[in-house]
Structure 1
Amino acid sequence: MGAGWAWAVVAAMSATQEPQVVSPLVKVRPGEAVKGRKEARLSLARGECEAVQVVLPGRVERPAVESLTLKGPGAALKASVWREAFIDVKTPSNGQGHKGPWPDALVPVDAPGHDSKLPTVFYVEVCAPEKQEPGTYRGQLLVKAGGAKFRPVPFTAEVQPFALPATSSLPNSFGVSMYSIARGHGVAPESAESRKLLRDYGRALLEHRVSAHGMSMTPPPVRFEKGRAVLDWREYDAEMAPFLDGSLLPSGARFTSTDVRDSKQAKTDAEKTAYYRAFAEHFREKGWPAQLFFYAKDEPKPEDVPLVKAQSTRVRAAGKIPVLVTSPLDDALNGSADILTPTLNCFYPRPGPQTCRSVVEARALRKRLAGDTRVWWYQSCNSHGCNGGPPADKAVDAAYSGWASYMVDHPAPLNRAMGVLAFSSGVDGELYFDTVFAYNTKKDPWKDVFEFGGNGDGTLFYPGTPARVGPSGHQPILTLRLKHIRDGLEDYEYLRLLAELGDATFARTAARKLARTGWDINADAGEWEAVREEVTTRLRKRWAESEYAKRTDRQTPQSTP
């Protein structure tokens, strides 16, 4: 299908000036025909966010929207609207990727730099607070562009009676660094502006059900008195307490986990253990429910085994802090990890060349570990190939294709699949090494996020500098991929809740329709929407039954024994 033909279709559409409503699971690219609807219909749980894309016909100058408010039985719902900016992919992540413009960054609608030669796409999101009154909410999105006028886009949002928890039920930890953020925004790392940006990035992650490790990476100052570590917690608590006690967001969401920050002031084994013990005691005293963990040497090589074992011994002597090790099952590291974290590829056998040296399915892996060892996983370049571009060997390209992936130039269902896979596999959590990696390179992330053989590996934001976003000032720019990750975590909540309400078999069947394995994922957006509708209908029924049972129990007089 040629670009000229597609633009002819778009030009014909422009005569009607009718925007198209498209699923967020479709990445709208230039030269590809858009098949959408005339109105937006959303279904969302209380405590959930859902979105659609609104695509304008033809070439558009100066796009703008009026605020969208949806009215219904409860408080009005106000939508958030971004314009999708395109990233020019120069080297495909693998055979599934392609060169050319890909939508990824979500910029303010009025941000400078709109290219009228590229599709104009708005990402429109509606969020329902946990206490929102269920029912139907309606409104209209009014779109303008230059002197053109467009038909209003009707919006209907059905708020379901069931609710999702504000904090992710699946523990996770994604890396973020204040120093990378400062470099990406061109500000001093230790400045007040840098610390505000760090909080903004952390807040953005938390709003998408993602917890963070790293952050400022500054350990609390410590002194040692008679074998006891005395830490000054003032700066640490100022930075981290809002993320750990649920006070940052109105929803009360909090980090599920975070890392111990090692200190160079602790030099001997005894001092290190005392320091770790003080960390654990502080979390207990504060009542923070987040899982504190020690991140051991990342992806240890054989020569790193003694180091990992020494780290594990020191941390375990402090008690109550699990040691996280990023490694496949490895006899040399046996017993060193409390949270063993292989890459995604290590859980799913497939034909052809192997991309993990020890492939063991999650439930089988857990049986080979000590009883209380948890199993997390993470994505790496093994999900797309570590060199970039389609390998000449088709068997190798196939081995690195199809996996759940956070790459810009991969289909949206692959970006979203980790939540469904986590439910099906039974893993205990997810790790991801970084969200702003490209900020700390010599390249401009707006022009190139190709790292570790993939487009966007380790980078889920763009630096929103005034030059890029206008007078609204420095801010983290979200991505479609972060939205898909959030939606995947919400998929997990739907399936988990359905299982808890007694319908685990149905939930597992629904999950398999979307992601049969880590490398066999349904890429059809319509199928994803159909399965979500099936799950919603089933969940609404189960929820009503459970609520009815609760009311019946309260209203029934208790018999006298």
Structure 2
Amino acid sequence: MRYKIMKKLISGIMTASMLLSTAAFVPGTATNFPTLKEDSILIMTKDRSAVCGTNGTVSADALAAEFDGDVTIKSPSGEVITGDTAIPTESTVENAGGSVGVIIAGDVNRDGKINLGDVATVLKHVAKWTVDISEDAADVDVNGKVNLGDASRMLQFIAKWGVKLGNTKIVVDTAPQTAVAEDAGTILWAGHGTDKYERTKAVTGGAVTYTINAAKNEAEGATVYINPSEDKKDVTVSATDFVNCYGDTVKTEAFTFYYHNMKESGYMPDALMPTDSTYTAKVNAGESQGFYLRATTTEETEAGLYESTVSIKSEGKEIKRAKIYLNVWDLTLNDADAPRSSFGLDKMAPARNHNIDGVADPERYNEMYKKYYDFLLDQRICAYVLPYNVETPEADLYINDPRVNSFVVYGTGYGGAMDATIEQLQARYEKLKDTDAFGKAYLYCADEPYDGKPDDDYGDMRTTKALIDEYFPGGKQVVPMETGTHITRYDGFIEYLRQTTDILCPKTYAYIPLKYYDSTEIGNANVWKFVQPDLSRDYGTYADFADKMVKEEGKEAWWYFAGLPAAPLTTYHASVDGMYVRMSGFQMYQENVTGVLYYATTDYLNGNAVFNGYGLQYSSGLGFEAWGNGKLLFSGMRHGIDGPIGSVRLDYIRDSFEDYMYLVMAERVIGKEATDALVEKVTRDLVDFETDAAKMQAVRAEIAEAIMTAQAE
């Protein structure tokens, strides 16, 4: 019905008369030119030449009240305007320091009104009639153009449809939003991205909106959950791009949580089903369904507040709606500050996930591996092996990418994915030796040495070291070390590491303080002790000798995750709250660890996981299930995606890396002592850390504020 009315209005107003006028305003040049009050509902244009954001007409007194100090308002023709008189667009606000213009979006005819006459002028302008028009006022949908969309928006405004005209200030609205087919029986609440709820948990609700905080060049998330009183089917989610008051946007992605059966932990969310997949959710009455919203800023993103509208539908009808906000801090994360990462990606797994025969179709086989590699890289994660052989020109795009900080040039095992000939190794050395990328390369030939096969393991380490000296001089060997309790029986273990290993890489629990070694706090899952008691008496803790080797000999200190560590330590398991993953970034900084290794992202051969499937079972061999261990990527084939579908844990891992980047930046600008004090608010050691997302976010905001303050000085 509204559209019929609109058509009649358009046909009628084409004959409406126009009010024409011309004027110009002069931007203030002094430092004390008219300035809006801090709590003003209006905004300045980006170039600060004009004020806008009235979203309709405004009187002279009301406009003057938005400014600090005394101001004079003049019409486009230069006449002083006071009292209740409506302000025309292209008026000016003046004080002793200068002047700023006024844009009243929709007041195309500069008469202080927004009516059908303005719409008529826009339509004539679009039809290329010669009309005098205020284009700034006419571009009401803020897309840099004046077209039929602006006329339509103005008609909707005149008809009181609740639309906005022009750039308007974004204000966080904490009230519930109303969907088109609002379902009063469905509860909605929003929260931090790490919030994970078991599906059958009947949550009674909470905040209906959430504000994400992020720097430039960062990704951050939020969650939205619903709990219906009646069964819902074909449930989907969508979200508008985050947009600020100037119409600038931030890339926004919405996902539906997929729930995995984790037995004793119940049905927990992990896989993120994208909006362009064919997946839809079924939600039983009294159960919860979650959605994940990811905002990704760039180095060019404008600081300030943005908003996105999240729409949840069932059977095509919008049943719930929410506003999520994004506050972008005026600081930019530096790719060079990211920790090094080395994550296993089996070359065969992507092909198997999508029923690709690598022999019959090698091009498709390699294409799918590249898609999986790129998917990880978008989360700041580097897989072991580049999509192209290092020595080839095709690899240069990755080698020179600032996000790629690690890649294997030679290795063994892992299904042959890291294999290379001596000739290839030599060619890779010649290519990289005089470049900055040389420091990204490493060799990975020995894995988890222990006393059951010391000759083999130690022999591998010695052989690789000799190989480096001869064919890749200056290169580095990484050796993941699962436990030190067995290998302490061999004399000079630390000296052996010193001679053969360039990248020290134990499991995280090597950094557990001595005070916990006889404690039950860390649980049976983490009882393996790394260097106690033998080496600690002679050399100190692992952290002691690792720090010494890093400072005195240029070694790198990494750590790695697998079936262990498990909660209550930070872990990459899927069955725990997201904070157990995210807090690992703060702990990396605290322990002077600069790299992370994770053995696999596509380990589908353990437990109930299968290629093309979504099972997360992993038998740890220690009396518990390490849910999701080695499984961070899923096949998109079942749901119309020609590539991987990610786990929400990938987002948490990226978040942990970016938290680390904040801390590296903070150390540069406010010093290590001040940075350490902030870190200790959320983590004291590997066992004692916060799992409350609100506390972590508050400290993160303190860190950001400290950085911005220091950079402004």
For the criterion TM > 0.5, the same-fold answer is yes
User: Which residue in 1 is equivalent to 2:445?
Assistant: 296
In the alignment, which of 290, 293, 303 is matched to residue 124 of structure 1? 293
- Aligned AA (2:465): S
Cα deviation, 1:470-522, whole Å, max 9, x if unaligned, reads 3xx32111111111000101111111111111243332122222222223331
2:356 aligned partner? 187
Alignment match, 1:104? 270
Contact 1:181 1:439 in 2 (8 A): no
Q: Distance in 2 between matches of 1:261 and 1:74?
A: 49
* TM-score for both structures, normalised by structure 2: 0.62
- C-alpha distance in 2, partners of 1:443/1:489? 27
Equivalent positions of 1:232-311 (< 5 A) are: 233-234=391-392, 237-238=393-394, 240-246=395-401, 253-262=402-411, 275-284=424-433, 288=437, 291-301=440-450, 302-303=454-455, 304-311=457-464
User: 1:424 Cα shift?
Assistant: 0.7
Q: Quick one: distance in 1 between partners of 2:670 and 2:586?
A: 18
RMSD: 2.8
- Following superposition, the deviation at residue 368 of structure 1 comes to 5.2
Whole-Å separation in 2 of the counterparts to 1:78 and 1:219: 32
Which of 342, 351, 366 does residue 547 from structure 2 map onto?
A: 366
Q: How big is the shift at 1:451?
A: 4.4
Which residue of 356, 365, 374 corresponds with 1:203?
374
Partner-residue secondary structure (3-state), 1:410:
coil
Provide the rounded CA distance (Å) in 2 between the counterparts of 1:262 and 1:30. 42
Match of 2:598 in 1: 432
Residue of structure 2 aligned with 1:355, choices 512, 518, 528? 528
| Distance verdict in 2 for CA 1:450–1:215, change over 3 Å | farther
The structure-2 alpha-carbon separation of the partners of 1:488 and 1:162, relative to structure 1 and needing over 3 Å to count, comes to same
Amino acid paired to 1:358 = V
How far apart, CA to CA, are the structure 2 residues paired with 1:287 and 1:364?
A: 28
Indicate if the aligned counterparts of 1:451 and 1:457 stay in contact, CA closer than 8 A: no
Aligned letter for 1:372?
G
Does the C-alpha gap of structure 1 residues 309 and 49 become closer, same or farther in structure 2, counting only changes over 3 Å? same
Cα distance between partner residues in 2 of 1:128 and 1:161: 12
Q: Corresponding residue for 1:393?
A: none
Any idea what the Cα deviations from partners look like across 1:397-416, whole Å, max 9, x if unmatched?
Answer: xxxx4111000111211111
Kindly tell me: are residues 33 and 543 of structure 1, through their superposed partners in 2, closer, same or farther at Cα, counting changes over 3 Å? farther
Structure 1 residues 287-315: Cα deviation after superposition (integer angstroms, max 9, x where no partner): 63651101131112323212311221121
Q: Could you tell me whether the CA contact under 8 Å between 1:63 and 1:145 is conserved in 2?
A: yes
1:52 pairs with one of 195, 217, 222: 222
After superposition, the C-alpha distances for 1:235-260 in whole angstroms (9 at most, x for unaligned) are xx43x3332222xxxxxx43101111
Match of 1:338 in 2: 502
Where 1:28 maps in the other structure, the secondary structure is coil
Which of 446, 454, 460 is equivalent to 2:626?
454
How many Å separate the matches in 1 of 2:462 and 2:407? 21
Matched, 1:89 2:278: no
1:540 maps to 708
Aligned residue in 1 for 2:569: 403
SS across alignment from 1:450: coil
Per mean C-alpha deviation after superposition, the further-off stretch among 151-160 and 292-301 is 151-160
Classify 1:120/1:272 alpha carbon distance in 2 versus 1 (closer, same or farther; 3 Å).
closer
- CA distances 1:405-459 after superposition (whole Å, capped 9, x unpaired): 0001112111112211111111131111111112688842413432435111111
What amino acid sits opposite 1:345 in the alignment?
A: Y
User: How far apart, CA to CA, are the structure 2 residues paired with 1:85 and 1:184?
Assistant: 18
Which residue does 2:282 correspond to in 1?
Answer: 115
Question: What is the CA–CA distance in structure 2 between the aligned matches of 1:165 and 1:280, rounded to whole Å?
Answer: 28
CA contact (8 A) 2:517 2:529 kept: no
The 2-side partners of 1:57 and 1:263 are apart by: 49
* Change in 2 beyond 3 A, CA 1:108/1:456: same
Between the aligned partners of 1:324 and 1:147, the Cα distance in structure 2 is 52
What is the match of residue 689 of structure 2? 521
CA contact 1:362–1:375 (8 Å) conserved in 2: no
Give the AA of the match of 1:295: Y
1:413 matched to 2:585? no
Secondary structure of the 1:487 match is: helix
The residue aligned with 1:21 is 190
Equivalent residue letter for 2:594: D
Quick one: which amino acid aligns to residue 511 of structure 2? F
Report if aligned partners of 1:211, 1:258 keep a CA contact under 8 Å in 2: yes
User: Does the alignment pair 1:39 with 2:179?
Assistant: no
Q: 664, 669, 679: which one pairs with 1:511?
A: 679
Return the offset for 1:262: 4.7
- SS across alignment from 2:564: helix
User: How many equivalent pairs are there?
Assistant: 478
Find the counterpart in structure 2 of residue 325 from structure 1: 479
Cα distance, 1:159–1:317 mapped onto 2, change above 3 Å: same
- Secondary structure of the structure 2 residue equivalent to 1:340: strand
| Cα separation, 2, equivalents of 1:440 and 1:285 | 43
Cα distance in 1 between the residues matched to 2:497 and 2:479: 9
Q: Aligned runs of 1:474-489 on 2, under 5 Å?
A: 474-489=642-657
Q: 1:381 aligns to what SS in structure 2?
A: coil
Residue 160 of structure 1 and its aligned partner are, at CA, apart by 1.2
Distance 1:334-1:495 versus aligned 2 partners, 3 A rule: closer
C-alpha contact 1:362 1:427 (8 A) present in aligned 2: no
Q: Residues 148 and 29 of structure 1: is their aligned pair in 2 closer, same or farther, counting only changes over 3 Å? A: farther
1:454 alignment partner AA? A
Report the residue type matching 1:258 in the other structure.
F
Distance 1:324 1:122 in 2: 38
Aligned ranges 1:367-386 → 2 under 5 Å: 367=548, 371-384=553-566
Structure 2 vs 1, CA of residues 182 and 512 (structure 1 numbering), >3 Å: closer, same or farther? same
Look up the equivalent residue of 2:507 and give its one-letter code.
T
Unaligned runs of 5+ in 1: 1-12, 91-97, 221-232, 247-252, 265-270, 385-400, 546-561
> Does residue 1:69 correspond to 2:251, yes or no?
no
> Following the alignment from structure 1 to structure 2, what is the Cα–Cα distance between the partners of residues 124 and 32?
21
| 1:167 positional shift | 5.2
Question: Matches of 1:430 and 1:263 in 2, distance apart?
Answer: 19
8 Å contact from structure 2 (residues 199, 259) kept in 1 = no
Measure, in 2, the Cα distance between the counterparts of 1:503 and 1:286: 30
SS in structure 1 at match of 2:410: coil
Change (3 A) 1:219 1:346: same
TM-superposition CA deviations, 1:55-79 (whole Å, max 9, x none): 1231432223344122224632231
Deviation at 1:180, TM superposition (A): 1.8
Change (3 A) 1:439 1:474: farther
User: TM-score of the superposition, structure 1-length normalised?
Assistant: 0.78
Q: Match of 1:194, SS?
A: helix
Amino acid at match of 2:254: V
| Corresponding position: 1:174 with 2:343 | yes
CA distance, structure 1, for counterparts of residue 505 and residue 406 of structure 2 = 15
2 CA distance for matches of 1:65 and 1:381? 33
The answer (yes or no) to whether the contact 2:368–2:643 under 8 Å persists in 1 is: yes
CA–CA distance in 1 between the matches of 2:318 and 2:423? 67
Matched residue type, 1:362 = A
2:312 paired residue number: 143
Contact map agreement 1:138 1:157 (CA 8 A) in 2:
yes
Task: Tell me the distance in 1 between the aligned counterparts of 2:249 and 2:280.
Answer: 33
Report the residue type matching 2:582 in the other structure.
R
- Structure 1 residue 179: deviation in Å? 0.7
Larger mean Cα displacement after TM superposition, 304-313 or 532-541: 532-541
